[in-house]
A and B are shown apart, each in its own frame.
Chain A
């Protein structure tokens, strides 16, 4: 009798062990608030979808904090399996060869089909190396678009401008007449610099925008962008444009309050704006361009962040990571993420699913980002790769702030950005040596 009990207990223990033999992986991310809830939802859906793997999402603070935490953990050998890294930090993590497993290799090694052409055009190459191999899995991808207050435009009797020429001669004066500040915009380096270059297919840095090699020089000091900023200061003087500070929300809030008629923000803000009870109806359209610079405006590229599979884990865990990426890129999950947050679906299939479901008939503004990302591309539209780019952005923010508060001239500001950025790039090149 005793013997039987013992055997039963042993069998039970063994069975319990087998049941718990699922591979556990962790995912560090920077998605707070409602976005964090959606991330948790995706993780628990993945855990429920099968019983071999279990993923645990961990919120690590802002993008910068998550990257710093991930780097510190990597140096201590305690890195998570999946880490979210934002656009400006991409060069740091991709530059550190051996820190991550290229997502394309990870998927291929674990028997998951991968074809880069399944992804939306503007999404494909931002997190890829110079050969076009995808290193990071695009996750929360967004692109700058122009939101507008429908009632304000109706009141002024204008439609959303397609070009900056139209904006300054027609739209802005009419909106001012109607009692609005025409335009504000969040994140000057992202919208009025990085995507300004891709929208006009202008080179942003040497070495194929920095993808090919680290001894890169920035090409930001060019006539097109200087003319743009000169125009912006002119708009500011006329009361057609207002700048409320470096913080993202500083410039979004006046739009939400109905003070500013048009706001340049992220396509990923769509979900948040829809959930707010705004005192007006809003819609969105593509980023305007200068007809004087190009007759054929090109696509923009993605911002936001991507997921990197950190190196240094055993094969079983990597398999789990691959399975999670497979789940994440499925059309259902991408459509869910897109619908909840406004970030673009990263695959063509998910986009088709959203179309078929009538998502864009209900909310046309939700499609603008993806349409803009799917425009024809050019040599300079796939993104950029520059080291110490977070600091370069800080330099840009500083100099732009000075331009807009009259502390410096456009010419001096761009000279300063060029000099400091090149110094930082040269320093970064040394870290890779």
Chain B
């Protein structure tokens, strides 16, 4: 195989420079600052700072509230990822049978994805309003006394519901495209081999969807961990109280609301390590086991 190459080694570096500069300015530099300030306790105005070593980290790990938030974030991420993938997959499989090539439908669904998280949160706030929210009334009809903002579990349920609702469209689009790219010949061969639709799905369709599914899994985990910030903020109205919150939201609460720069920097560093682990997991462990066509 012929390798395309550059005649001088400076040309590729020059072409990469803009991207590298952007990454350095907007990622490495702030990340370095976060790591640095996580070892200090500093006055918000910048007058004094005290080196405290790993105190910020040990404080966090010894704090039962931080553990509680971490556990909630884990449960929240699993629920949001699972439900938004599962529901989208179900819808896509059903739609695949009837909606071949319905581009208009796809475009319309994509628009829902464009709803900004705070707007989605606001819609949730309206739907679950304590006195007149339609979903609160629906829950009341089934004997569930739903009180958003008062009861921890109710607020958590609303967060999961709104986050899943917002994420289903994009997953649906990807799954539908994935399904439609499965060669017709494979489907026909499967039809001859196996009469059961469920069996065909798990034996043939699902493995062929794996690359799409894997990509979506990572996207959805990232979404649940980070992009749901706006939804969480809107649903707790900026005052978390006894309501659940995610780790990213806690960084904001402690850093921006509380001006505890050292503490929130330590939290950011923990999140960066988490993202790093997720990335390594993505490329090292799973990527090799997935068959890309």
Most buried by A among B44, B239, B262: B44
Report the bound CA distance from A36 to B253 in whole Å: 25
CA distance A97 to B43 in the complex (A): 10
B47, closest chain A residue (CB): A96
B150 at interface (Cβ–Cβ under 8 A)? yes
Interface residues of B in 31-46 (CB under 8 A from A): 41-46
Among A245, A254, A390, contact of B257 (Cβ-Cβ < 8 Å): A390
Tell me if A64 counts as interface (CB < 8 A to partner B): yes
Smallest Cβ distance from A250 to chain B, in angstroms?
Answer: 6
Q: Are A97 and B150 in contact (CB under 8 A)?
A: no
Find residues 104-150 in chain B having any chain A CB closer than 8 Å to their own CB: 130-131, 147-150
Which one, B76-84, B174-182, B240-248, is touching chain A? B240-248
User: A390-B257, A427-B260 are contacts. A398–B59 as well, Cβ < 8 Å?
Assistant: no
Interface stretch of the complex, out of B11-19, B48-56, B196-204, B224-232: B48-56
B52 to chain A, nearest CB (A): 7
B152 engages A407 (CB within 8 Å): yes
What's the count of A-B pairs with C-beta under 8 Å?
125
Write the nearest CB–CB distance from A242 to chain B, whole angstroms: 10
**Residue B258 lies at the interface, judged by CB distance under 8 Å to chain A:** yes
Residue B193 at the A interface, CB < 8 A? no
Known: A244-B130, A250-B149, A391-B254. A62 touches B238 (CB 8 A): yes
Q: When the two chains form their complex, are residues A99 and B47 in contact, meaning their CB atoms are under 8 A apart? A: yes
Residue of B nearest to A188 (CB): B241
Q: Which of B42, B45, B148 contacts A99 (CB 8 A)?
A: B45
A residues less than 8 Å from B241 (CB atoms) = 245-246, 394, 397-398, 400-401
A244-B150, A401-B150, A430-B52 as given contacts; A75 in contact with B46, CB under 8 Å: yes
Q: How far is the CA of A257 from the CA of B238 in the complex (A)?
A: 24
Q: Say whether B188 faces chain A, with CB atoms less than 8 Å apart.
A: no
The yes or no answer to A122 lying at the interface (CB within 8 A) is no
How far is A427 from B40 in the complex, measured between Cα atoms in Å? 11
Interface membership of B259, Cβ < 8 A:
yes
Determine if A49 is an interface residue (Cβ-Cβ < 8 Å).
Answer: no
Given contacts A99-B47, A405-B152, contact A398 B242 (CB under 8 A): yes
Nearest Cβ in chain B — how far from A427, in angstroms? 6
The size bracket of the interface on A is 35 or more
A235 within 8 A of B: no
Scoring B43, B49, B243, B253 by chain A CB atoms within 10 A of each residue's CB, the highest score goes to B43
State the Cβ distance, A82 to closest chain B Cβ, in Å: 16
- Tell me which of A98, A257, A397 contacts B242 (CB under 8 A): A397
Q: How far is the CB of B275 from chain A (nearest CB, A)?
A: 24
Assembled-state Cα–Cα distance A390/B242 (Å): 15
Q: CB of B67 within 8 A of chain A?
A: no
Query: Once the chains are docked, how many angstroms separate the CA of A392 from the CA of B145?
Result: 30
In the complex the two chains form, is B149's CB within 8 Å of A391's CB? no
CA distance A397 to B257 in the complex (A): 14
Q: How large is the interface on B (under 10, 10 to 19, 20 to 34, 35 or more residues)?
A: 35 or more
**How near does chain A come to B152, taking the closest CB pair, in angstroms?**
7
Q: Is the CB of A74 within 8 A of B45?
A: yes
Instruction: Specify which chain B residues have a CB less than 8 angstroms from the CB of A424 in the assembled complex.
Output: 260
Residues of A within 8 A of B242 (CB): 246, 397-402, 405, 407
Q: Interface centre among A93, A250, A395, A407, by most B CB within 10 Å? A: A250
- Assess A391 versus B50: contact at CB under 8 Å? Given A99-B45, A401-B241, A405-B150: no
Interface contact A420-B243, CB-CB below 8 Å: no
CA distance A401 to B256 in the complex (A): 22
Does A247 interact with chain B (Cβ within 8 Å)? yes
Question: Is A8 an interface residue, CB under 8 A from the partner?
Answer: no
CA distance A9 to B211 in the complex (A): 75
**B237 at interface, CB cutoff 8 A:** yes
Asked if A388 and B260 sit within 8 Å, CB to CB, the answer is: yes
- Complex Cα spacing A433 to B49, Å: 7
Main secondary structure on A side of the interface with B = helix
Question: What chain B residues lie within 8 Å of A404 (beta carbons)?
Answer: 150
**Residue in A391, A400, A431 whose beta carbon sits within 8 Å of that of B48 in the complex:** A431
Q: Across the interface, do A67 and B259 meet the contact criterion of CB distance under 8 Å?
A: yes
Near B by CB (< 8 A), chain A positions 208-262 give 243-247, 250, 253-254, 257
Interface flag for B194 (CB, 8 Å): no
Question: Is A431 a contact partner of B50 (Cβ separation < 8 A)?
Answer: yes
A420 CA / B65 CA spacing, docked (Å): 10
Residues of B contacting A181 in the complex (Cβ-Cβ under 8 angstroms): none
The answer to whether A433 touches B239, judged by C-beta atoms less than 8 angstroms apart, is no
- The reply on A95 being an interface residue by CB < 8 A is yes
Known contacts A246-B237, A405-B150, A405-B242, A433 near B259 by CB under 8 Å: no
Q: Is B151 an interface residue (CB 8 A)?
A: yes
B263, CB-defined interface residue at 8 Å: yes
Task: Please give, as numbers and ranges, the residues of chain A lying within 8 Å of B259 by CB-CB distance.
Answer: 67-68, 71, 89, 92, 388, 390
Which residues of chain B have C-beta atoms less than 8 A from A245's C-beta?
Answer: 130, 147-150, 237, 241
Please report the C-alpha to C-alpha distance between residue A63 and residue B57 in the assembled complex, in whole angstroms. Answer: 28
At the interface, yes or no: A432 with Cβ under 8 Å from chain B?
yes
Are B150 and A64 in contact, with the CB atoms below 8 A? no
Across the two chains, which residue of chain A brings its CB closest to B49? A431
Residues B149 and A257 in contact, CB atoms below 8 Å apart: no
CB of B140, distance to nearest CB on chain A (Å): 16
Chain A residues within an 8 Å CB radius of B149: 244-247, 250
Chain B nearest CB from A162 CB (Å) reads 30
Determine how close the nearest CB of chain A comes to the CB of B5; give it in whole angstroms: 45
Min CB gap A80→B, angstroms: 14
Residues in chain A near residue B152, CB distance under 8 A: 405, 407
Residue A423, interface by CB 8 Å: yes
Q: Which residues of B have CB within 8 Å of A64?
A: 238, 256-257
Q: What chain B residues lie within 8 Å of A244 (beta carbons)? A: 130, 147, 149-150
* Bound Cα distance from A264 to B150, whole angstroms: 18
From B50, B151, B152, B257, name the one whose CB has the most chain A CB atoms within 10 angstroms: B257
Chain A: CB-nearest residue to B153: A405
Selected A-B contacts with CB under 8 Å, 5 pairs: A92-B259, A95-B43, A244-B130, A246-B149, A407-B242
The 4 lowest CB-CB distance pairs between A and B, nearest first, are: A401-B242, A246-B241, A245-B149, A96-B45
Binding site for A on B (CB under 8 A): 41-50, 52, 59, 63, 65, 130-131, 147-152, 236-243, 253-254, 256-260, 262-263
* Further 14 A-B residue pairs, CB within 8 A, beyond A98-B47, A398-B241: A64-B238, A65-B256, A68-B256, A71-B259, A244-B130, A244-B147, A245-B149, A388-B258, A394-B241, A397-B239, A401-B242, A407-B242, A420-B65, A424-B260
Residues of A within 8 A of B (CB): 62, 64-65, 67-68, 71, 74-75, 89, 92-93, 95-99, 243-247, 250, 253-254, 257, 388, 390-391, 394-395, 397-402, 404-405, 407, 420, 423-424, 427, 430-433
